[in-house]
């Protein structure tokens, strides 16, 4: 039986279903979690201020919780920033080069960002595992949970960078998660 060639439309639908839609959903979920985290940070800091200045009894858990939440919010935000091309770029240099070279340079840039993501994921996992046996005294949760967002953000950065490379090769744009 002869193998049927896939048309660009069919392969585009496949890429959309398998890569773009799930990653867009993940990015939106990360943004929602980050917003909830920001609200929780505000609540924790407000509780700390209220306890310190009104009750004259500072809750010991509020500062530690705010610090853990800041790590999650910033790491998730950084990963989504990679997907939405919100990171620092060298656009001024890229617009000066011819189109073919610009495309290759953008692919190289996303590949370098992906390598950075791999290093974040790898080292974040090692760090989280190395301190998972210790607890944050005021929260009673493992210290390793402070480093999980670094590993998670690294994995997301790799996935989002691959999505950008696929989009560049296909001549498409990645639609930002906040749309």
Question: pLDDT 10s digit of each residue in the chain, 179 long?
Answer: 443 344 444 455 555 666 778 888 899 999 999 999 999 999 999 999 999 888 888 888 999 999 999 999 999 999 998 888 766 665 667 778 888 888 898 899 899 999 999 999 999 999 999 999 999 998 989 999 999 999 999 999 999 999 999 988 888 888 787 76
Give the pLDDT score at 86. 67
Integer Cα distance of 166 and 47 in angstroms: 46
Q: Could you tell me which of 176, 179, 147 has the C-alpha nearest to residue 84?
A: 176
Q: So what's the pLDDT on residue 176?
A: 80
pLDDT of residue 87: 62
Helix (H, G, I), strand (E, B) or coil at 134: coil
Contact 76, 41 (CB under 8 A): no
* 52-89 pLDDT, tens digit each: 888 888 888 999 999 999 999 999 999 998 888 766 66
CA 41 to each of CA 34, 56, 72, 145, 174: distance values in angstroms, whole numbers, following the listed order:
10, 21, 11, 16, 30
**What DSSP string describes 159-176?**
HHHHHHHHHHHHT--PPP
Quote the pTM value.
Answer: 0.84
Tell me how far CA of residue 88 lies from CA of 11, 84, 92, 170, in angstroms: 31, 11, 11, 23
């Amino acid at each position: 039986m002869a193998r049927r060639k896939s048309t660009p439309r069919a392969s585009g639908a496949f890429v959309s279903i398998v890569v773009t839609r799930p990653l867009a959903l993940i990015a939106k979920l990360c943004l929602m979690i980050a917003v909830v985290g920001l609200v929780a940070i505000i609540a924790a800091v407000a509780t700390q201020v209220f306890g310190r200045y009104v009750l004259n009894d500072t809750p010991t858990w509020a500062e530690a919780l705010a610090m853990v939440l800041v790590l999650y919010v910033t790491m998730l935000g950084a990963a989504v920033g990679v997907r939405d091309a919100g990171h620092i770029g060298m656009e001024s240099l890229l617009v000066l080069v011819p189109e073919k070279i610009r495309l290759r340079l953008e692919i190289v840039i996303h590949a370098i960002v992906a390598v950075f993501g791999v290093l974040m994921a790898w080292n974040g996992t090692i760090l989280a595992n190395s301190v998972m046996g210790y607890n944050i005294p005021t929260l009673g949760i493992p210290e390793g949970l402070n480093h999980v967002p670094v590993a998670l953000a690294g994995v997301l950065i790799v996935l989002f960078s691959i999505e950008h490379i696929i989009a560049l090769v296909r001549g498409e744009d990645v639609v930002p998660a906040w749309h």
